[in-house]
Amino acid sequence: MVDNRGRNKVVKGGKGSKRKSQEIKPKPPKIAKQIMKHVDAADLQAMSNRRGKQRVNFSLDEDSILLLCKVVATVLLKKTSASTRTTFGTATHWSLVRDVLLRNCSKSCDKTSTACSRRQRFIMKNKLTRICHDLSVAEVLADVDLVEKVLRGRVDLTDQEASACFMELLPLVKLKFKGGVHGTMEGVIPDSVDELNQSYAVQAFTTEPTDHDHEDGITNKDDVLKCSIENLIFAVLASDEKHFNQYQTYKIFEDYPEPLVSQVSELLKKRNIVSKKLENPHRKRNLPFAVPSYHITKLYWQSFRSQHFSQVFDDCISSINDLETQSPVTYKLDVNSGSIVSML
């Protein structure tokens, strides 16, 4: 006989009653460690000065200071060991750049170290800025006395020593480039020719008087606007479709008077310089000069080509040399070269 007393307590219950299951306590989710973008109290103060703005704007002076700090950091990276290079990849370096920016610009009170690092990486993406940076670094490295004055032969630097060298080298490099700028314009551009002659010594290449003052036919403001509109049309039509923006082109032509734009466009069409494209007639021609719709004719490009072959000039020189060295020189009349031209 089977004893079911223990089983009856477990399975007790009537129809429709559920058995209790074991309670499984869920594991608490792992909270990700927050990455603090603000390094110190100065960054928190800069965030409060933003007054709710998510991004900040950098002026030209601030970009110049950031580029100067980048030059100094690159010089120290090239002159120190690998152990010291970690200093200029951490937040310590960007806090130094932020302090330099706050010291030189009063409007930089809302700039954090993260904003300075982001802006410096952005301006270095420009090719011209990269070239300017490389030339500046090469010029500083060429001045051996300037670098040795700061480093004093040291290669392995601690974080504090690297920061001190950075702050010591920065004003020296700034003074070096500031002293190399010549001809700074401190005055104001004069409004008339008489004021220009009074302020500066204007010298002419010739003293012979000229009967006509305007050789190019420009006498008023409309002529200047027409020339600029014509140059803009050539620049737009010579650009590639991939680098063409219709909205920007529309905004540029919108700044000029509409009668002048239509007058210049009709004049170019009458001179057979600008014409519509025959292919893709289904494209819309909403704008006056769109790359997919108009193009510069071959008649305009042929005006820049020479009517003579390029080989003619070399043949002329060789034929003249033959005439000087040899007395009887014979050429065939059906030769397509510069010998016949030199004989004529």
Please, what is the end-to-end C-alpha distance for the chain in angstroms? 139
Which residue would you say has higher pLDDT here, 294 or 91?
A: 294
**Per-residue pLDDT band at 24 (split at 50, 70, 90):** confident
pLDDT, tens digit, for every residue of 254-264?
Answer: 889 888 988 88
Place of tokens 């060429």: 142
d(CA 128, CA 105) in angstroms, rounded, equals: 24
Q: What is the pLDDT of residue 31?
A: 85
Report pLDDT digits (tens) over 243-256: 666 667 777 888 89
As a whole number of angstroms, the distance between CA 336 and CA 339 comes to 8
Residue ranges of the domains in the chain?
Answer: 41-179, 221-302, 310-343
pTM given for the model: 0.46
270: Cα separation from own chain's centroid: 38
